[in-house]
Structure 1
Amino acid sequence: MLTTMSPIRLDSAEQERLRESYRHLHRHPELSMQEHRTADYIGAELDSVGIPNFRCGGTGVVGVLRNGEGPTVAFRADTDGLPIQEETGLDYASAARGELPDGTEVPVMHGCGHDVHVACLLSAARVMVQRSSTWSGTLLLIFQPGEETAAGAQAMVDDGLWSKVPAPDLVLGQHVMPIPAGEIRWISGNAMALADSWKVTLRGRQAHGSQPHDAIDPIVLGAHMITRLQSVVAREIDARRAAVVTVGTFHAGLKENIIPDRAEFTLNIRTLDQQTRHQVLAAVRRTLMAEATASAAPEPEIEELYTFPLLVNDHTWTHSMVKAMKTEFGDQQVVESEPLMGSEDFGTLPQSAQAPGVFWYFGGHDAATLEQPAVPKNHSPHFAPAEQPTLETGARAALAALYRGFNGV
């Protein structure tokens, strides 16, 4: 029999180590698939408590803690930062710089909470080592790069992740969100959206700004496309199905009196099921081609940048985890949620391992922050989770889930 650990409490020394780890990670973010120093730090932390580890997927780190007979439970934390100029005013704010794939230098910030995720999993790992007599099995600690670009999970799988470790019986993950600190939210079944990102390049004909009749104006063409695309969800998708079409960037021209010969914009498309996804993508592509024809322009070039998979939580294991979380935090702090239109590549891991997966959310904001007119959300330059009880909640939630995983559904 395994020892019941609820409620779990971190001693003062572990709370301080958790805080220091979080602050270090927050100060030193790195862009997707460039997390070299972060990987070094994680490896050193695992080494310090005797957990064997190895690199996988470039800048990913996998720790393997074998502790006798029993299930194999994997827990994933994502490690990458974002190209954001931090404006939190924290004394441990990031001043880091990074380089995008096109060579552009940008500020870098942990604006999505991945620093919290890593710090909490490292804390949980230390506790599992300290209390190895209370559980039995194999713990896989997966520190995954490149979540923000949907590249990291697949890179680890392509690098042979599941051939290098015991096959997992369960894969777990969590995410800090702009909800009350200390709260846990869960979703069974379809939990986070599919996401498709495209770059669309428009070709026109350059001319003087005073002679538009000599041009094929890609800016006007792009404006028509972008406006028309907003009718795809509003007029073609059943209102009972969720979908979002967003244009995130638009670039064209170098001077106000020159009609350029090209323009480009990027699209982000979110759906919660494959049928709706195929319908939206087909409608978007049809709209782009038709508008180009209407403007006597060449067909646009469409580059598929990346795709996030649907995140599906296993029903049986999700409800088992809910019981564990309620035991740990109390019924009032564990709340069922609706599917999110945000996306995660976490789903790649359980899908590729053919194992059940469970992913939940924990709160990061105190009451004062939640009362602000504009609450800082993930990907905001002002996103700064309250250190406590956020960090301890994340570590305790990870431990509660791990113990449930090793005890069985």
Structure 2
Amino acid sequence: MPGTATTVALATGINVPDSFLTEHIEMYKAFHRTPELSSCEQRTAETIEARLSELGIEHFRCGGTGVVGLLRNGEGPVIGFRADTDGLPIAEETGLDYASRSTGTLPDGSNAPTMHGCGHDTHITAALAAAAYLVDARETWAGTVVFLFQPGEETASGARAMVDDGLWDRAPRPDVVLAQHVMPAAGGTFWLRAGNMASLGDSLRVTVRGRQAHGSQPEKSRDPIVAAAAMVMRLQTVVSREVAPMTPAVVTVGTFHAGLKENIIPKTAEFTLNIRTPEQEVRNTVIAAVRRIISAEAAASGIAEPEITEINSFPRLFNDAENTARATRALTAAFGPDAVIDSALGMGSEDAGWLGDAIDVPVVFWAFGAFPREAFANGAAPAGNHSPHFAPDAGLAVTNGTGAALAVLLDHLGK
């Protein structure tokens, strides 16, 4: 890439002018200020499209608010690179001068504050910065990069929407799909592992229907609150008594809503569940136990069979062994021998796996840190993803995200 008198290293051998870093830090802050909720990323998509046009990169919409950029540079490998774009319904409390004050509309029509509380602003910026570098450094590489700016990751809807919208009929089939995610870890550190990189994820809504009555006449009711409360308590035994102790699994009740007044036993109660499991067999066991407990507690309470509806379901995220080893070597060469950590299985979930699994193409997903090392002094730790206080360092977010993306991309594409 053309240099200036002063440059900064994104990674070993990947140097850019100071102005490049400054430009993309400002881009990161702009994305951070203006998050949009899942599948509502219209303004974000338009900003991405405008930047791709500035860079001269062919692009098209896919999956509603998804954007695909095709950076072609002669004969060579075809590499997919995914960056998710959606924010979360969180009221930001970071105190940053570029903090979000945006709001969005939830699926139920209610208004909610929005925040890039999972770092997808970092992912967008890193992908666009990598694209800018590759445009200016065409002489160093050959092939095609399929940049996948994917909406709706938080709801497990975006990757499937892009695939269902004919993604791989309109873009060249890649040799591998790469993806990355910022985490509350020190800059210059990376996590990846071969095999399952994240957990399967399932979210359910349970509607419990009873019989409404005056609070002073409970004998005339079939109390859905008591029944639902019994279900919630009994569900805590699924992991402790139906899953082997060495097998990771999570069953979380995230919301519980019932009633409008203290002296009315309501007709309905509703709660939502989030389930994380490491593999399909465990998923089947846990979901079967959840359904059995809900049904049995309803019967014990003398109420109708509850209605259970799926909110979302995350697929596997399986890192191909050969390509994971290759990415590990590339990141180690770029950031040093101690930079890459063999990751434990995470209980978080991701839908990036769909992008490769849909066409039987290998996937590699890694996590990277973007916090100063002093944030971990004396046992301290910064706020994690989905916290209202989640605040990666802007400079580290851009340098580490972009540097990692380029290190692995150029390992596949470099001459």
Q: Is this a same-fold pair by TM over 0.5?
A: yes
Matches within 5 A, 1:96-135: 96-135=102-141
Who is 1:380 aligned against? 387
Residue 6 of structure 1: how far off its partner (Å) = 4.2
Aligned residues of 1:7 and 1:327 also touching (Cα < 8 A): no
1:246 partner letter: T
- Higher deviation after alignment, 113-122 or 380-389: 380-389
1:325/1:400 contact within 8 Å kept: yes
Identity %: 54
**How far apart, in 1, do the equivalents of 2:376 and 2:237 lie?**
33
* 2:57 equivalent to 1:51: yes
More deviation, 113-122/357-366: 357-366
Q: Distance in 2 between matches of 1:292 and 1:158?
A: 38
- C-alpha deviation, 1:187, in angstroms: 1.4
1:87 partnered with 2:96: no
* Cα separation, 2, equivalents of 1:323 and 1:336: 12
Is residue 315–residue 350 contact of structure 2 (8 Å, CA) maintained in 1?
Answer: yes
CA contact (8 A) 2:29 2:394 kept: no
One-letter amino acid of the counterpart of residue 48, structure 1: E
Q: Which runs of 4+ in 1 moved over 4 A?
A: 371-374
1:312 and 2:322 matched: no
Cα distance in 2 for residues equivalent to 1:377 and 1:201: 31
Distance 1:288 1:273 in 2: 23
After superposition, the Cα gap between the structure-2 partners of 1:69 and 1:374, relative to the gap in structure 1 and judged at 3 Å, is closer
Aligned to 2:159: 153
SS of the aligned residue for 2:338 comes to helix
1:200 Cα offset (Å): 0.2
Q: Output one character per residue of 1:225-257: Cα deviation in whole Å (capped at 9) or x when no partner.
A: 000001011001111211100000000000011
2: CA distance, partners of 1:327 / 1:367:
21
Question: 1:406 aligns to what?
Answer: 413
Aligned residues: 404
Q: Residue in 2 aligned with 1:390?
A: 397
Residue 170 in structure 1 maps to residue 140 in structure 2: no
Q: CA deviation at 1:407?
A: 5.3
TM-score by length of 1: 0.97
SS at match of 2:14: coil
Deviation at 1:373, TM superposition (A): 5.3
| Alpha-carbon distance between aligned partners in 2 of 1:259 and 1:314, rounded to the nearest angstrom | 53
Deviation at 1:368, TM superposition (A): 3.8
Structure-1 residue corresponding to 2:203: 197
Deviation at 1:405, TM superposition (A): 2.1
Q: Quick one: distance in 2 between partners of 1:166 and 1:79?
A: 22
Cα pair 1:347 1:357 within 8 Å, conserved = yes
Q: Which residue of 2 aligns with 1:41?
A: 47
1:224-263 alignment runs, 5 A limit? 224-263=230-269
The amino acid across from 2:174 in the alignment is P
Q: Partner letter of residue 402 of structure 2?
A: A
- Which residues in structure 2 correspond to 1:203-352 (within 5 Å)? 203-352=209-358
Is contact 2:277-2:283 (8 Å) kept? yes
| 3-state SS of 1:162 partner | helix
Structure 1: 5+ residue runs without aligned partners? none
Rounded Cα–Cα distance in structure 2 between residues aligned with 1:226 and 1:374: 31
What amino acid is the match of 2:242?
E
In structure 2, give the amino acid aligned to 1:40: E
SS in 2 for 1:332: coil
Shift of 1:208: 1.2
Checking the alignment, whether the CA contact within 8 Å between 2:370 and 2:400 is kept in structure 1 is no
